[in-house]
A and B are shown apart, each in its own frame.
Chain A
Amino acid sequence: MSNQPDLNTRAEIEKLAALISLPAGELQSLAEGGAENLRGLRRRINQRIFDDRRSQFRALEKFTRLLPQGTVAKLAENALGPKLAGRVVGEMDPIRGFKIAKRLPASFLADAVPAADPAKVREIIPYLSAELIRDVALILVKRGAYILMGRFADALSAPAIRAVVGAIDDDAVLLNIAFYMEEKTQLTKVVQMIDNVRIARLIRTGTEKTLWPQALSVIDNVSSELRARLANIMVDQDEATLNDLVSVAHEQNLWGPVLRALDKVNVKHHRKVVNLPALKDENILGGLVASAYEEGLLESALPLVRPMREAGRKVVAHAALKQGAEVAEAALWAAQNTGQWDLILELAEYLNTEERDLIAGLPILRKPQVLRDVLTAGAADNKIALLLDIIERMDAPGRRVVAEVAVDNDGNLLESVIDVARKSGSWQTLAVMLAELDGKGRSLAGQIFRRQTDDDRAAFTAAAEEKGVWDTLAGDLGGEAA
């Protein structure tokens, strides 16, 4: 997995690079600064540029008020030129700016827009006709000025958005403009103004390998409801296309947006996605798990394991544990918070000795409530034998907490453990565990044991003697049967 920055940071680096005329590659090491800081810096640079001689342009703007608007427009076009005109318009109130701008040809406006204060242009844009906006946009598209267009896209009126989208046939262009949009929070509003057929086409175009980042950026920045709609279009592609998504997500560190999208996808699509051939790779799944952890998405990622086939589940179990104890701990908390211990226990069946040792040492498995939930899930899903194996790997304090939980509530959970010990012969693990209890706990365990059959009690006694803990237990667990 690469360490490429998130999509918003990537877009910000490209915008900053374009502003200061450096190749974006040279600014990659600034990514750690994050999108917000980079955006702030870029705006500050812009501000500094437009503050230069501002008082003079303000004075010139004041002077132009003495002239008829038509004359000002003519002077702008024929004498001042786009650069000066942009600066003067940048000092006008929006209504007057609009009245001058509407008299100017689209080609002139396309030249003047980069020279005007973006904040002021955004104020004027809503007043301009959809046709004029469209014509300017088409010129800017020809120049590949996507960053510039992204700066103003969310300021357009609904008719202007429809006119521009209708005039630009190339979906890749629209995706690029959206990628650079200044106010991504407004993307929902913009997308909602585009008709359903075109939106579907846009997202399908975005599933071409090179455009996945742009498509994901759109999906990731719209409202939850709209994200669901777009994500469903995204996953309704053929297997080869979705395999591309997996490799692009892995190569470009895009698991965050992918997981957020999948979280909104209709569950009927989950099976198809999680069983993709590309997702059989332990390295790729490891990257996915690590990203899910880093972005706090483990709770959303966990349900995706359910529809996985067994082979995939095995890979994901090993891949997750390879990420280390911190990630494993977080994954178990995700299971605890979302009530998915049944799934974790299924995955745990695939773990090898070292992996089970790691699980047994996790701090989460020292929490009484967590252990209560795990044991309850284990009892319901016939996984107590597995749990006994993990308990056996725990240290003494860990075993004590398990034992305390087991004897709680009149020993309901202990009864389940005894049932398994009877079938699997794992009395020794049970004996060692109960030996960690204090006097009160052993007394409770004794009450439960007195309800058991003579055979069970004899087997337990023999196991406890073998493990050298019978002396500790005999006083409480050695009495007559009830």
Chain B
Amino acid sequence: MNEQTTEELTRLLNAEDREVGFLQHLPPEAVARLAGAISGTIETEKNAIETAVAEGTQRLPKGLRGIVRSILS
């Protein structure tokens, strides 16, 4: 179970095996909880950036809004 979770984390974090390999030897429940929280954090952060982009570009002067939107889209 740990092995699978660790593999998923490796992919999610674009990590090297050695960076997350130590988790394989730790309690599976804790590793699963950790993996869930990491995944949630990345997702939350992604959403926060989406929101910030939408709101931030909206506040830009019209002349810049389109350019910045096209860069960030």
Chain A interface (Cβ < 8 Å from any Cβ of B): 19-22, 26-27, 29-30, 32-34, 37, 40-41, 44-45, 47-49, 51-53, 56-57, 59-60, 63, 75, 78-81, 83-84, 87
Query: Would you call A83 and B49 a contact (CB within 8 A)?
Result: yes
Q: Within the complex, which residue of B12, B33, B40, B61 is in contact with A48, where a contact is CB–CB below 8 Å? A: B12
Chain B interface (Cβ < 8 Å from any Cβ of A): 12-15, 19-20, 22-23, 25-27, 29-31, 33-34, 37-38, 40-42, 44-46, 48-49, 52-53, 55-57, 59-61, 64, 67-68, 71-72
Task: Count chain A CB atoms within 10 A of each CB in B31, B38, B60 and give the residue with the most.
Answer: B38
Instruction: Pick 9 A–B contacts, CB within 8 A, sort by A.
Output: A21-B37, A21-B41, A22-B33, A32-B26, A37-B22, A49-B41, A79-B61, A80-B56, A83-B48
Query: Would you call B52 and A45 a contact (CB within 8 A)?
Result: no
B46 neighbours in A (Cβ, 8 Å): 52
A80 neighbours in B (Cβ, 8 Å): 52, 56, 59-60
> Would you list the 6 A-B pairs with minimal beta carbon distance, nearest first?
A79-B59, A83-B52, A20-B37, A29-B30, A37-B22, A80-B56
Known contacts A48-B14, A63-B71; is A84 also within 8 Å of B52 by CB?
yes
Query: Would you call B40 and A20 a contact (CB within 8 A)?
Result: yes
Q: How far is the CB of A123 from chain B (nearest CB, A)?
A: 22
Docked CA distance A52–B13 (Å): 11
Known contacts A59-B71, A79-B56; is A44 also within 8 Å of B19 by CB?
yes
Query: Would you call B45 and A78 a contact (CB within 8 A)?
Result: no
Known contacts A26-B33, A52-B42; is A78 also within 8 Å of B22 by CB?
no
- Residue of A whose beta carbon sits closest to that of B72: A56
Query: Would you call A81 and B22 a contact (CB within 8 A)?
Result: no
Docked CA distance A358–B19 (Å): 44
Query: Would you call A40 and B19 a contact (CB within 8 A)?
Result: yes
Query: Would you call A81 and B55 a contact (CB within 8 A)?
Result: yes
Docked CA distance A59–B16 (Å): 27
Docked CA distance A53–B55 (Å): 17
Docked CA distance A57–B71 (Å): 8
Docked CA distance A84–B64 (Å): 15
- Residue of B whose beta carbon sits closest to that of A31: B26
Known contacts A56-B71, A60-B71, A81-B55; is A30 also within 8 Å of B30 by CB?
yes
Q: How far is the CB of B12 from chain A (nearest CB, A)?
A: 7
Docked CA distance A391–B23 (Å): 49
B67 neighbours in A (Cβ, 8 Å): 63
Q: How far is the CB of B22 from chain A (nearest CB, A)?
A: 4
Q: How far is the CB of A13 from chain B (nearest CB, A)?
A: 11
